[in-house]
Structure formats: C-alpha cells, structure tokens
Amino acid sequence: MAVPLLLYLVGLAYLDDYPPDFLDHLVIGTTALSVGLNAYIKRVHWRRGNVKVKTGAVFAAVGALGNLAGANAGLVVHGHLVLFLLSIFMNRGCLRTERGLRRGWGPRFELGEAWPTAFAVGFASGFFGIGGGSSWCPVCSLAPASTSSAVGISLISAGIFCMMTAATYMWRGFVEPVLSMLYLVGGTAGGYISARIAY
C-alpha cells in the first residue's frame, strides 16, 4: 500500500518536473527503504510470540535470491507497467486471502512448506518493491498458517527483502532518504496502533 499512497495520496505522481517512469521507480525504492526499516521496529509481534525466527530465516534466505532477481527485473520494466501489474497482483492476493479466511487456516506453518513459495514471494517483493507480508499473507491460503503467524513470519523476510530492494534501487539513484525517513515515522506510529487494535 505504501507505493500507491505515496504516489497518489501524497501526490508525487502529479509532479511535472520529472518523467513518470522516474517517479514510479523513485517511489518504489523510497518506500522499500522505509518499509524495510519499519519491519524491525514492530516489536508487538515479537512480544506476542508471532515471529517464528527459524521459519522466517529460512524463508528469507531462499527468498533473497528471488528478491535480487525481481528487483533487477523491475528496474528494466517501465514504472507504469510495474504499477499496473501490482494492482492485479494485490487484487488476486486479496481474493486468495479471503478464500483462505473462509476455509480456515491452521495455527502453524511447517518449515518445509516455506521452500516452494519463498523464491516466488521474494521475486514479487523485489519486482514490485513491496514487503514480504503483502505477498506472503495470501500464500497462507495454500498452507496451514494463521494470519498472526503469517504476519510474524513475514516481518523477518519483509525487512530483508525491502532492504535488498532499497539497496538495488539506491545504487541506481531511485531512493529519496529524507522522504523515506518521514514515511518511516508515520509508518511506525500507524503500525503500533494497528497492531494494538488487531491483537
């Protein structure tokens, strides 16, 4: 959600001084940095025992390879196309998540079940510049994991994936650090409030 919010709610998409393709990739890189840092600040899930370090670490290690490939692939695709594909991806993710909620998810996620999906989630995270949770939670409809477990596991991978994406984009000049820090402050406050409400 960070990418469309920064583009269309904050209004970067309406700046006339820069090419649209540049702004799209700038927003992807900038939000990746703030989301990556924000993932490690959310201590509520750690205190509640939702973060499964072993599973999350294996998932992140395998997904990091996909993330590297996805981030570099996203940079060679026009920003408008990346955003269009992101909208389709997120809509499909919402439908899959809703289907999983209706069917019911189990309370645990086994370590071996992270391998088949880790690379694909990492690639999507790098290509779209999104956190692991955006692509990881819908995957839970394919595996016996609760929503809280999915969020907790994704915090490890989201931080790593987003920081890798941010580094790749920063190398190409597509990160605005000051804007990213402002986004981080707001995201930290909002994340703390939402976690308190949800749990």
Q: Considering only 6-20, 112-126, 175-189, which range has the smallest mean pLDDT?
A: 112-126
Number of H helices, E strands in the chain: 9, 0
What contacts 24+ positions apart, CB below 8 Å, involve 7-14?
7/83
Read off the pTM.
Answer: 0.78
Please state, in angstroms and rounded to a whole number, the distance separating the CA atoms of residues 56 and 153.
Answer: 5
Residues 32-61: pLDDT tens digits? 898 888 777 766 666 666 666 777 777 788
Please state, in angstroms and rounded to a whole number, the distance separating the CA atoms of residues 127 and 140.
Answer: 20
Report the share of the chain in percent with pLDDT over 90: 19
Please tell me the predicted confidence (pLDDT) of residue 168: 93
Per-domain residue ranges of the chain:
2-198
Judged against a pLDDT cut of 60, whether residue 142 lies above it is answered with no
Helix 147-171 to helix 53-75 angle (10° resolution) is 40
Residue 137 pLDDT grade (very low, low, confident, very high; cuts 50, 70, 90): low
